[in-house]
Chains A and B, each alone.
Chain A
Amino acid sequence: MLIDFFYTLKKAGLPVTVKELLTLLEALDKQVVFASIDDFYLLSRLCMVKDEQHFDRFDQAFGHYFHNLEMVQGLEEFLIPHDWLNPEWVNNLTDEEKAQIEALGGFDKLMETLKKRLEEQQGKHQGGNKWIGTGGTSPFGHGGYNPEGVRIGGPGRHQRATKVWEKRQFKNLSDEVEIGTRSIKMALRHLRQFARTGAAEELDLDDTIRSTAKNAGLLDLKMRPEKHNAVKLLMFFDVGGSMDYHIEQVEQLFSAARSEFKHLEYYYFHNCVYEHLWRDNSRRWDQPLNTYDVLNTYGEDYRVIFVGDAAMSPYELTHAGGSVEHMNQEAGLIWLQRLLDKWPKHAWLNPIRQDYWDYTHSTQILKKVVDGRMYPMTLSGIEAMAKSLSA
């Protein structure tokens, strides 16, 4: 009973287990609801879904299961997560790439290929020239360059009375792929190291027994401070220019880090660190801070994270006077090396997709300089970074 329904949900990517199905059957057995599809919708959602992020997917899968006869399009199209198709990616293809775009043939052929692709494709995709997603030059998805492309996502095409699950009220709660502050916090948590600091509030049983024994059996209470996260973090953010596209991500990272670490210091730079850093981005010209001062302020026990896209002219790194903004006496790499030498526990977070790194010369240089410890700004990247920093 309801086995097909269960598998439809599973296929839609909902994390359902047999336990939930059994619960649903038990509820039906006890007649919590009876002979009403609307109530059944509510009940099955109550039993099968454990996170509001999944409500939207559930609605779609439910709609598919109970209406698949009317359905004009196939399940595959319905189950494309909507955020694959968000036009967040700024399309900056080269002319050469644009030139590669060629039409794939008539409409029928496009649809056929689309079906085939959907079966092959496993994850969200941006850029590139084959898979469905945003940007890029594939004829499927949107925001891309192929003039003969098929647009997926957008206003609904079914003109009929909508059921609750078809309203898709929970669409904006679905944030599966995108990294939210909450999940960043969880990833950063790998970087925790507990130490006892602050006021003595916890009973230290071992010490109490020891000193009570010493005290000829008269009770002598000993307290100790509670454990707190003692990791100290120093972050350098690249701002302006090409980093403008990643502001949202960086903001999330920053607010997550700020609530997770007690000792968090941060400075801004543009493209590469030089002799000046700044604390307040709007006053960077009138309140520059000497990088030497920063170098001398924080001890070696600080962990250092650089956040930047590492995309710049190679001269900004390798030559004196290479900065795009001012006349720098010493090359960027020299300054960077000073920072890296001072804080041996460092890593670089790069908001650009990892498979694009190799196309930028400066990224390759920087990756080498930080000893390969450059991580993409995805959840798994942040997690890997946190682990390498805490080692």
Chain B
Amino acid sequence: MTKFTGSDNYVATDDLQLAVNAAVTLQRPLLIKGEPGTGKTMLAEEVAAAMGKQLLSWHIKSTTKAQQGLYEYDAVSRLRDSQLGDDKVHDIKNYIKPGKLWEAFTSDEQVVLLIDEIDKADIEFPNDLLVELDKMQFSVYETGETITAKQRPIIIITSNNEKELPDAFLRRCFFHYIRFPDKKTMQAIIQVHFPNLKKDLLNAALETFFEVRDIPGLKKRPSTSELIDWIKLLVADDIPLETLRNKSIKEAIPPLYGALLKNEQDVEMLQKLAFMMRREA
């Protein structure tokens, strides 16, 4: 079995690698939590790519029901077809639409199944999937057949912590919390995205970034994905290193700050702070 060790465009810390490998070996779902923008969803893509497996994504919304992951019975089109005298109507199977779990279970090769943002759904959602994830099988009420997994898929579940997940569900998962990367990891992440970035520019940008993150009371602290966007802009605009270095946050707001701060109250706060610093100086 291939071990997951990160990839060319994804930096996985040791604990994350261990989490993925343990989940793959023991065939348990892996629940990933962490600050927004720390690469939770990307992890599933990278695991699939690194292991050469197909990725099935099931994005959860507030209206998603657990049943939709298994299958949906389209009663309305069957009713309509019956009126039009379509022959299809005699076989109920024509109206059963397999969901993502069904697809994952019946795939010929093992797949990676991403259940994205499970906390968006109703509180009961995870509970409704307990048996299905445990036994990796479910029965189709309308036709009486039982769908059993040919291979147990690698299941990666992400959560943004908007709702507490039920204990029974948690007991069946491995849990990993992606911490906000420290400076060293962050450097590695940026090297992966911008291999040609000058080292001093990177250092200056990182310093400014962590300074902005440390401002107490920000409504939305910038995360990794915002940092990467910001550096992209810095490179595209060819901002000279001196601007970045001289205009550390203590004197003025950083250039192109719009990429880092997504909330006008935060921008206002930063401006106020910069103004106060300047007055003191």
Verify A50–B175 contact, CB threshold 8 A: yes
Q: Complex formed: what's the CA distance from A52 to B14 in Å? A: 17
Beta-carbon contact of B161 and A46 below 8 Å: no
Closest to B31 in A: A50
Does B175 contact A51, Cβ atoms closer than 8 Å? yes
Instruction: Assess whether B177 is in contact with A32, with CB atoms less than 8 Å apart.
Output: no
Residues of A within 8 A of B (CB-CB), count: 34
* A 39-98 contacts with B by CB, 8 A: 39, 42-43, 45-47, 49-52, 55
Interface assignment of A20: CB less than 8 Å from any CB of chain B: yes
Q: Which residues of B contact A205 (CB under 8 A)?
A: 75
CB <8 Å contact, A49 and B22: no
Q: How many pairs, one residue from A and one from B, have CB atoms within 8 Å of each other in the complex? A: 67
A-side interface mostly: helix
Chain A binder among B48-56, B110-118, B143-151, B164-172: B164-172
B174's contact among A30, A46, A183, A203, by CB below 8 Å, is which?
A: A46
Residues of B14-47 at the interface with A, using a CB-CB cut-off of 8 Å, are 14-15, 18-19, 21-22, 25-26, 28, 31, 33
Contact of A46 (CB < 8 Å), options: B19, B75, B163: B19
Size of chain B's interface in residues, with CB distance under 8 A?
A: 29
Name the residue of chain B whose CB is nearest to the CB of A221: B76
Q: Which chain A residue shows the least CB distance to B83?
A: A219
Chain A positions within 8 Å of B205 at CB level: none
Q: How far is the CA of A362 from the CA of B35 in the complex (A)?
A: 44
B179 touching A169 by the CB < 8 A rule?
Answer: yes
Report the bound CA distance from A7 to B228 in whole Å: 44
In contact, A33 and B83 (Cβ under 8 angstroms): no
B79 close to A (CB within 8 Å) = yes
Q: Does B237 contact A (CB under 8 A)?
A: no
Whether the Cβ atoms of A42 and B15 lie closer than 8 Å is yes
- Chain A residues near B245 (CB-CB < 8 A): none
Asked if A26 is an interface residue, CB under 8 A from chain B, the answer is yes
Among B15, B79, B179, the residue within 8 A (CB) of A219 is B79
Separation of A237 and B18 alpha carbons in the complex (Å): 49
- Quick check: A43 and B18 within 8 Å, CB to CB? yes
Interface digits, B148-188 against A, CB 8 Å rule (1 contact, 0 not)?
00000000000001111001001101111101000000000
**Which B residues lie within 8 Å of A55 (CB)?**
177
| A residues less than 8 Å from B162 (CB atoms) | 182
B80 part of interface (Cβ distance < 8 Å): yes
In the A-B complex, list the 5 residue pairs whose CB atoms are closest, starting with the nearest: A50-B170, A52-B177, A50-B175, A42-B15, A32-B22
A-B CB contact pairs (8 Å), 15 listed: A23-B174, A32-B18, A32-B21, A32-B22, A33-B18, A42-B14, A42-B15, A42-B18, A46-B15, A50-B31, A51-B175, A182-B162, A186-B164, A205-B75, A219-B79
Known: A27-B26, A219-B80. 17 other contacts (CB 8 A): A23-B26, A26-B26, A30-B26, A32-B21, A32-B26, A33-B18, A39-B18, A45-B15, A46-B174, A47-B174, A50-B31, A50-B167, A50-B171, A203-B76, A205-B75, A212-B79, A219-B79
- Chain B residues packing against A (C-beta within 8 Å): 14-15, 18-19, 21-22, 25-26, 28, 31, 33, 75-76, 79-80, 83, 161-164, 167, 170-171, 173-177, 179
